Chain A
Amino acid sequence: MLDHSSFAMIGRILLLGSIILASCSPKGSDTRFNMLFDQEQNEHGVAVIDMDYTDALDSGFVVPSIRQVPDGRFSFRYSATSADPQSKGYRYKLYYVNDSYRFAHAGPDGAQHPLAHENFYGSWEVAAEGFRPAAVGSDGRVVIEDRFRIRGDPRDEPGHRDTTGQQARWSRNPRVGEYRFMLVLIPAEQFEKAPPPSAVMNIAQQENGRFVDPFWYWLHGPGSQDEHAQVMIASERLQVRARPDLGAGVYIRSEVEVDPIAFTEQCGNAPGFQKNSPFEQFIHYVDPSTRFANIPLIADVLANEYTPEDHDRYRCLFPEDRMVVVRPRTTDTPCATVSSDPERHSLELRNPASTHGNWRKENVGVRSRHGLAYGKYQVKCKLTRLLNDSDMWVGITNAIWLLYDGAPDSLRRECGNGGYLRNYYGGGDERVPRVAYSEIDFEILKTTAYCPSRTFPPTFPQTFAATDDRSAWAMSTSEARTDNPGMITVACTNWDMACRAPENFGHGCRPVEHNGKTFVSHRWDENYRALTQKSEASDSELFGGPYYWFEIDWRPEEIIWRIGPELDRMREVGYMDRSVTEISNVQMQLIITQEYHNTRWWPGTPYEQGFIPFPAKDLVGEILEVRIE
């Protein structure tokens, strides 16, 4: 997979090539092609712009917006002395492509890469518009000054429509990352004699059932051999970032009636939130199968009011008929457990405390409202601690994850070799060529590693309800409990719906090498829908300080999970590529949650959820910043 520096190198080579091409062609040696960005530049000299979230829910992101640049369009300029002053003029077309998150334009055989049609590229506002005319001035010079913008669904695809049939540009939003710009100029006479293929002029069209990547066509394909075409890559690039304002409130969906009693000035379903809030409260779907019996004890585990010994003793001795059956709950009063701070530009999550009779292990979370494809999702947060001083787990899983947004025409690319399993909820299922479901996770909790397989599962002893013998109820002989106190498991998961297409698809424990490090992936069996890598980290380091960074670097051909105390001190904790797992190509939304899991989901976990008390105090987490770039 090409990394950013490789892309940059290719870009420079192409630029040099284009300038050489320009200078060799009968087009004059004073050719200039520049993108006129008035934005701030990053450390690499690349113009930077943040996505404008205003109106982006309905209209999709536009880059730039009218609030960012006059008229809401970028300008570019081309000038050159025409080689033929008598020329009838030229035809030109500007293309742009997201360079950071794309497949190669060309395959090894020089043909268009099989997945290049998925790249995010565009041209004029109306996708069907072809080349525009440019006249030669009386001074023999050609000067083009034009404008454009980057917007969602740049190919005007018929599938990207909402339920009313209206164009839904948000269903294929512009990607974050760097953009490259290409100008193609053809003498008018030549254009009339032999115009480019219609699918190159009109990017909404397909050729042989597939979109033609214009960057492939003009840089590697037949267009690169066209001696009449002048193909130029601008030296200027544009970096697009997303910086949702966490202080802009939390929206509450109201497709079903909700109790507004907890609504505040910063959280609710008023039109202002609906229009402007980049996050909404996330309401988990909790399957009835996740019910479990719990001791009715309410205690502040993080204040050391409960120990592993207590857990073991209650597990063995607490009467079943005094336990309570619950399932992880979701809120009855939206906004009671999430809030937005407009001054600190942060979000707060709370798993609420319980009282007798109102026993609740309640999940809480927020979800971004704008879907994006690919990107480096960086979350700065201080989520709740998971362990107390005696290594007792509080029962929470801190999760930072991406989930498909279900946008129109957003099915994952076809899975060869049998297809995807249709549903995410497990068990036997039919296989289908395409599915919508897509998820990439950080899940952090106290559990045990599945790999190497020779060490799983931990050998827990059979316990006894023997009051007079502590060792009868203790699970402390298991290495899963005594290994690595203070450490929690960071589980990195890609839900590939058991697509068998990757060449190294398999099950069990399988190593993947990256940057000199070995990551071991685990899949339970051939029909398990997810691949997981686990590593250990210190609970106090991740959640005991003022904040920590979590990053999901989702790329077309690989996913990298990183964590660190600062962005320049990140370390890789997970790596997967297309050789081991099918990587999603559909838009996803960011979700951050503190949630309770039935520990049946995590075999080998040294604590049972049902013998962890209900919380006596709210468990608080803060999200301090979200960057997507």
Chain B
Amino acid sequence: MNIRRALVLVVSLVVLIGWVIMFSPFGSDAGDSSSEAGNMAWAPLTIPPEEQVTVPTSDPPPFDRACLFRSGHTTAVGDFRPNLHFDMESSADGSLLSARHAHSGNTAYRIVRGQEYTPAIEGNVSTIPATLAKVAVGLWVYSDTTIGKFTIVADAHRGEEQLTWMGKDLDPVGSGAGKWMRFQAEFDLRDLHLSGDDRVRIYFWNADKQELFIDDMDVVFRIDGVSGKPSGTPFDTEARTIGVAPPPFARFAMIAPVDPHEHGVVPGQLAPSNTSDPFPVAKGYSGRLRYVPGNATGELVSTGGRTEYLVRAWCPELGKDLFGFERVLISPGVNGLRIIGFDVDIDPSNGQALVAKDPRPMGAECSITPPSP
């Protein structure tokens, strides 16, 4: 063979191989990671670095690492995480993640052609400190071709006995190819009266065994109501003999804004603790303002310790309730009580609470007086 021809052949082969690699469906670097057009109302999300921290679960890949910023909350008892968010950016088994299509970030979980079932996320009822009422699942799913039968499945077992199997099929209407689609389901478990070591599993049934991509997935093991919120008896305005009528709200007005920096509340620096001591509020009124973080409001408390008024620190000038922050500092000001609200970020390296940048801290000097009679 002529050398020149051989060289041309080799170069051509190299170029050809390069093209094949670039556009191969099996290449992890191929393709773009942006969502296809279709759901214009939902723009792709990018995840800021601080939210990319994960927390390990006891479930198999790709459900082995949940996003801390949306899965971080645990119940006080049992250390159970009811909310699990998977952004499919990280897993011990990286081969399950593909950059070919992603709803957000860089990768999504790829269900390969021929795979009928996915691994399961499992919740053990004994670790859930209250009655498990429902389990909810929400995700984004994508296929290059029209999606056939695809089902979110929730089942429950007591030992080896299956207590229930529930599934929601992806509605075939609008299950078009080439676009990310939202898919959500909720399964009511109350009638099962789950207890003890009963287990609830969530997984997907890909009956048509087609290639699919899943991203930005939420699983919620839901109890009725708010976890950790004490129960109580509200005041019945009709019977009027059930419960106790709540105190009225005090009058609250902002006198002047306050710069939190000037009072030691600086983003990135160590966060002061909530003010727990009560403070006098106004001349001629003996009650004191006590901030009770768990109550969402403050209280004006009499010298006898009785709550006479509730306080909502609403500042229309700031467009904010100053008690609507994770922490609140209260101190005497020049013209009135000084209230500064701020959020905290936990430094993962040492567990210290630092003043958060977002939302920005806010403060004001305020006048708080009993309401008009």
Given contacts A454-B171, A454-B184, contact A314 B296 (CB under 8 A): yes
| Chain B residues positioned under 8 Å from A322 (CB to CB) | 232, 234-235, 246-247, 295, 310
Task: Give the residue among B221, B231, B295, B344 with the most A Cβ atoms within 10 A.
Answer: B295
B253 CB-CB contact with A under 8 Å? no
Q: Complex formed: what's the CA distance from A75 to B223 in Å?
A: 74
In the complex, the answer to whether B227 meets A323 with C-beta atoms within 8 Å is no
B316 CB-CB contact with A under 8 Å? yes
Q: Complex formed: what's the CA distance from A461 to B217 in Å?
A: 12
In the complex, the answer to whether B183 meets A455 with C-beta atoms within 8 Å is yes
Q: Complex formed: what's the CA distance from A460 to B321 in Å?
A: 24
| Chain B residues positioned under 8 Å from A453 (CB to CB) | 171
In the complex, the answer to whether A317 meets B296 with C-beta atoms within 8 Å is yes
Residue of B nearest to A482 (CB): B42
Q: Complex formed: what's the CA distance from A468 to B223 in Å?
A: 21
Q: Fill in one digit per residue for B333-352: 1 if any A CB lies within 8 Å of its CB, else 0.
A: 00000000001100000000
CB-CB contacts below 8 Å: B288-325 with A: 293-297, 310, 312, 314, 316, 319, 321, 324-325
Given contacts A356-B249, A467-B326, contact A327 B42 (CB under 8 A): no
CB-CB contacts below 8 Å: A317-346 with B: 317-327
> Chain B contact residues (Cβ within 8 angstroms of A): what range?
35 or more
Measured CB to CB, the closest approach of chain B to A412, in angstroms, equals 31
User: Contacting A305 at CB < 8 Å: which of B82, B234, B295, B316?
Assistant: B316
| Chain A residues positioned under 8 Å from B228 (CB to CB) | 464-466
In the complex, the answer to whether B220 meets A459 with C-beta atoms within 8 Å is yes
In the complex, the answer to whether A323 meets B183 with C-beta atoms within 8 Å is no
User: Contacting A317 at CB < 8 Å: which of B229, B231, B371?
Assistant: B229
| Chain A residues positioned under 8 Å from B236 (CB to CB) | 324-325
In the complex, the answer to whether A454 meets B296 with C-beta atoms within 8 Å is no
In the complex, the answer to whether B316 meets A457 with C-beta atoms within 8 Å is no
Q: Fill in one digit per residue for A136-172: 1 if any B CB lies within 8 Å of its CB, else 0.
A: 0000000000000000000000000000000000000
> Chain A contact residues (Cβ within 8 angstroms of B): what range?
35 or more
A109 CB-CB contact with B under 8 Å? no
A483 CB-CB contact with B under 8 Å? yes
CB-CB contacts below 8 Å: A274-303 with B: 291, 293, 296-299, 303
| Chain A residues positioned under 8 Å from B310 (CB to CB) | 296, 322
Residue of A nearest to B82 (CB): A462
B218 CB-CB contact with A under 8 Å? yes
Q: Fill in one digit per residue for B217-252: 1 if any A CB lies within 8 Å of its CB, else 0.
A: 010111100111111111111100011111111000
A229 CB-CB contact with B under 8 Å? no
User: Contacting A298 at CB < 8 Å: which of B175, B249, B326?
Assistant: B249
Given contacts A296-B246, A453-B171, contact A464 B232 (CB under 8 A): no
In the complex, the answer to whether B246 meets A323 with C-beta atoms within 8 Å is yes
Q: Fill in one digit per residue for A496-516: 1 if any B CB lies within 8 Å of its CB, else 0.
A: 000000000000010100000
User: Contacting A483 at CB < 8 Å: which of B42, B70, B183, B246?
Assistant: B42
Residue of A nearest to B320 (CB): A307
B327 CB-CB contact with A under 8 Å? yes
In the complex, the answer to whether B182 meets A454 with C-beta atoms within 8 Å is yes
| Chain A residues positioned under 8 Å from B138 (CB to CB) | 458-459, 479
Given contacts A314-B296, A456-B184, contact A466 B73 (CB under 8 A): yes
In the complex, the answer to whether B83 meets A462 with C-beta atoms within 8 Å is yes
In the complex, the answer to whether B227 meets A457 with C-beta atoms within 8 Å is no
A357 CB-CB contact with B under 8 Å? yes
Given contacts A466-B228, A468-B327, contact A356 B184 (CB under 8 A): no
In the complex, the answer to whether B296 meets A463 with C-beta atoms within 8 Å is no
A304 CB-CB contact with B under 8 Å? yes
In the complex, the answer to whether B184 meets A461 with C-beta atoms within 8 Å is no
Residue of B nearest to A459 (CB): B138
CB-CB contacts below 8 Å: A434-473 with B: 452-473
| Chain A residues positioned under 8 Å from B343 (CB to CB) | 470
In the complex, the answer to whether A297 meets B312 with C-beta atoms within 8 Å is yes
| Chain A residues positioned under 8 Å from B72 (CB to CB) | 469, 471
In the complex, the answer to whether B235 meets A323 with C-beta atoms within 8 Å is yes
A316 CB-CB contact with B under 8 Å? yes
| Chain B residues positioned under 8 Å from A452 (CB to CB) | 171, 173-174
Residue of B nearest to A463 (CB): B226
Residue of A nearest to B232 (CB): A321
In the complex, the answer to whether B230 meets A463 with C-beta atoms within 8 Å is no
In the complex, the answer to whether A313 meets B296 with C-beta atoms within 8 Å is yes
Q: Complex formed: what's the CA distance from A303 to B314 in Å?
A: 12
Q: Complex formed: what's the CA distance from A411 to B27 in Å?
A: 68
B41 CB-CB contact with A under 8 Å? yes
| Chain A residues positioned under 8 Å from B184 (CB to CB) | 454-459
A315 CB-CB contact with B under 8 Å? yes
Residue of B nearest to A511 (CB): B173
A553 CB-CB contact with B under 8 Å? no
A236 CB-CB contact with B under 8 Å? no
B355 CB-CB contact with A under 8 Å? no
A50 CB-CB contact with B under 8 Å? no
Q: Fill in one digit per residue for B161-184: 1 if any A CB lies within 8 Å of its CB, else 0.
A: 000000010110111000001111
In the complex, the answer to whether B182 meets A321 with C-beta atoms within 8 Å is no
Given contacts A320-B233, A468-B327, A484-B41, contact A509 B314 (CB under 8 A): no
In the complex, the answer to whether A299 meets B245 with C-beta atoms within 8 Å is no
User: Contacting B234 at CB < 8 Å: which of A293, A304, A461, A509?
Assistant: A293
| Chain B residues positioned under 8 Å from A540 (CB to CB) | none
In the complex, the answer to whether B296 meets A470 with C-beta atoms within 8 Å is no
B270 CB-CB contact with A under 8 Å? no
Q: Fill in one digit per residue for B36-70: 1 if any A CB lies within 8 Å of its CB, else 0.
A: 00000110000000000000000000000000011
| Chain B residues positioned under 8 Å from A25 (CB to CB) | none
CB-CB contacts below 8 Å: B113-159 with A: 136-138
Q: Complex formed: what's the CA distance from A456 to B171 in Å?
A: 11
A477 CB-CB contact with B under 8 Å? yes
CB-CB contacts below 8 Å: A560-577 with B: none
Q: Fill in one digit per residue for A73-113: 1 if any B CB lies within 8 Å of its CB, else 0.
A: 00000000000000000000000000000000000000000
In the complex, the answer to whether A305 meets B222 with C-beta atoms within 8 Å is no
Residue of B nearest to A293 (CB): B234
In the complex, the answer to whether A459 meets B235 with C-beta atoms within 8 Å is no
B186 CB-CB contact with A under 8 Å? yes
Q: Complex formed: what's the CA distance from A344 to B248 in Å?
A: 40
A310 CB-CB contact with B under 8 Å? yes
In the complex, the answer to whether A454 meets B238 with C-beta atoms within 8 Å is no
Q: Complex formed: what's the CA distance from A317 to B228 in Å?
A: 9
In the complex, the answer to whether A483 meets B41 with C-beta atoms within 8 Å is yes
A309 CB-CB contact with B under 8 Å? yes
In the complex, the answer to whether B234 meets A469 with C-beta atoms within 8 Å is no
A-B interface, 6 closest residue pairs, ranked by CB to CB distance from nearest: A321-B232, A459-B138, A320-B232, A317-B296, A467-B293, A323-B234
Could you jot down 15 A-B contacts, CB within 8 Å?
A307-B319, A317-B229, A322-B295, A324-B236, A326-B238, A454-B168, A454-B174, A459-B137, A459-B184, A462-B73, A465-B227, A465-B228, A470-B325, A473-B226, A509-B173
* Beyond known contacts A321-B244, A324-B236, A464-B73: 13 more, CB 8 A cutoff: A297-B249, A310-B324, A319-B232, A323-B246, A324-B235, A325-B243, A459-B136, A461-B70, A464-B227, A466-B228, A468-B326, A468-B344, A477-B70
**A interface, CB within 8 angstroms of B:** 291, 293, 296-299, 303-305, 307, 309-310, 313-327, 356-357, 359, 452-473, 477, 479, 483-484, 509, 511
